[in-house]
């Protein structure tokens, strides 16, 4: 008798690869051939996962239409058997798959629309955190501001697009005709995050994107101001940096801040005088 272990391996191969060895183990019913009955499992596997992808990538589905989306879904399902207990995570590789796999790769907006949909979904049910408020920040004495580091909200995700995928997404979301896909002259920076219970995104100007990227690495506010000054001129650099910071706080994009010790430890050196900020990453100054 075939062992349970071997039986399950054959059953799974029968679903994933179309191998018919399993048919030796199952019986015809009074009304149906065994191949038809086992076919229910084969069909259900692809149909169920294609439905998961269509739900998770609803606007990409709308953009591509049923036939093209079905091709993308089938190619993805064939290349990525699910290794997740929850179907919620099955489609997580679709943005990269669409970006890297022919023929989808020649349409960069496909992978980027998918990336935006995935980021919004991840932000929607990402970790909870209390947003930083202006009042929290106001409690920091002015002389400590240069040593302030910022903690992004845990749902914040930075994306960089080469196509007008964000505009296409917005048009599809608004149920209007999407613009023709184009490559952008310069890459577009976007940030996705959850504000309250709403997953949102917005573009970041180049300078703001630079400052966000550095802030997310734990760079101090004083250094961020210097970077902003180098990026687009010293005139008003501190005001620009403070304005970005205010916008981020008002939008709930930050979850905390802390004042670093006056003398930051060198990378790899033991932390001294850090008190309860032992988890702070070394700052590159």
Query: In this chain, which stretch among 28-36, 162-170, 185-193, 262-270 interacts with other proteins, using CB under 8 A?
Result: 28-36
Q: How far is the CB of 155 from other proteins (least distance, A)?
A: 8
Q: Which is nearer to other proteins, 2 or 160 (CB)?
A: 2
Binding of residue 46 to other proteins (CB under 8 A): no
For residues 8-47, one letter each, b for 16 or more C-beta atoms within 10 angstroms of the residue's C-beta and e for the rest, the string is: eebbeebbeeeeeebbeeeeeeeeeebeeebeeeeeebbe
CA gap 237, 181 in Å, rounded: 35
The set of residues, in sequence order, having a beta carbon less than 8 Å from that of 147 and lying 6+ positions away, is: 220, 221, 222, 259, 260, 261, 262
Which of 9, 229, 242, 251 lies at the binding interface for other proteins (CB under 8 A)? Answer: 9
Query: In this chain, which stretch among 24-32, 58-66, 185-193, 207-215 interacts with other proteins, using CB under 8 A?
Result: 24-32
Q: How far is the CB of 162 from other proteins (least distance, A)?
A: 29
Q: Which is nearer to other proteins, 107 or 153 (CB)?
A: 153
**Using omega within 30 degrees of 0 as the cis cutoff, is the peptide bond preceding 275 cis?**
no
Binding of residue 18 to other proteins (CB under 8 A): no
- Phi and psi at 151, nearest 5°, equal -110, 115
Per the CB < 8 A criterion, the answer to whether 69 and 94 are in contact is no
CA gap 269, 181 in Å, rounded: 50
Q: How far is the CB of 36 from other proteins (least distance, A)?
A: 7
Binding of residue 38 to other proteins (CB under 8 A): yes
Which of 17, 20, 36, 250 lies at the binding interface for other proteins (CB under 8 A)? Answer: 36
Q: How far is the CB of 85 from other proteins (least distance, A)?
A: 4
The set of residues, in sequence order, having a beta carbon less than 8 Å from that of 165 and lying 6+ positions away, is: 108, 109, 112, 113, 115, 116, 181
Site string for other proteins, 248-277 (x = CB under 8 A): ------------------------------
Per CB under 8 A, residues contacting other proteins are 1-5, 7-9, 11-12, 15-16, 24-27, 29-32, 34, 36-38, 40-41, 44-45, 48-49, 52, 81-88, 90, 124-128, 154-155, 194, 197
């Amino acid at each position: 008798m075939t062992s349970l272990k071997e039986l399950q391996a054959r059953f799974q191969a029968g679903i994933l690869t179309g191998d018919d060895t399993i048919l030796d183990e199952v019986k015809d019913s009074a009304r149906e051939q065994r191949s038809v009955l086992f076919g229910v499992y084969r069909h259900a596997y692809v149909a169920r996962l294609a439905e998961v992808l269509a739900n998770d990538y609803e606007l990409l589905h709308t953009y591509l239409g049923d036939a093209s989306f079905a091709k993308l879904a089938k190619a993805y399902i064939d290349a990525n058997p699910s290794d997740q207990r929850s179907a919620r995570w099955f489609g997580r590789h679709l943005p990269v798959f669409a970006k890297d796999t022919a023929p989808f790769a020649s349409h960069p907006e496909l992978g980027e629309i998918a990336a935006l949909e995935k980021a919004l979904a991840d932000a929607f049910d990402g970790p909870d955190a209390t947003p930083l408020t202006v009042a929290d920040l106001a409690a920091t004495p002015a002389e400590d501001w240069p040593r302030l580091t910022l903690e992004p909200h845990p749902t914040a995700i930075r994306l960089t697009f080469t196509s007008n995928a964000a505009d296409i997404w917005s048009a599809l979301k608004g149920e209007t005709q999407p613009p023709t896909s184009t490559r952008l002259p310069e890459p577009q920076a976007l940030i996705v995050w959850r504000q309250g219970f709403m997953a949102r995104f917005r573009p970041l100007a180049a300078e703001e994107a630079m400052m966000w990227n550095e802030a997310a690495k734990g760079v101090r506010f004083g250094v961020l101001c210097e970077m902003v000054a180098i990026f687009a001129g010293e005139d008003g650099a501190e005001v620009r940096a403070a304005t970005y910071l205010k916008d981020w706080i008002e939008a709930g994009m930050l979850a905390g801040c802390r004042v670093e010790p006056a003398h930051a430890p060198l990378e790899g050196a033991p932390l001294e005088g850090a008190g309860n900020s032992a988890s702070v990453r070394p700052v590159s100054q």
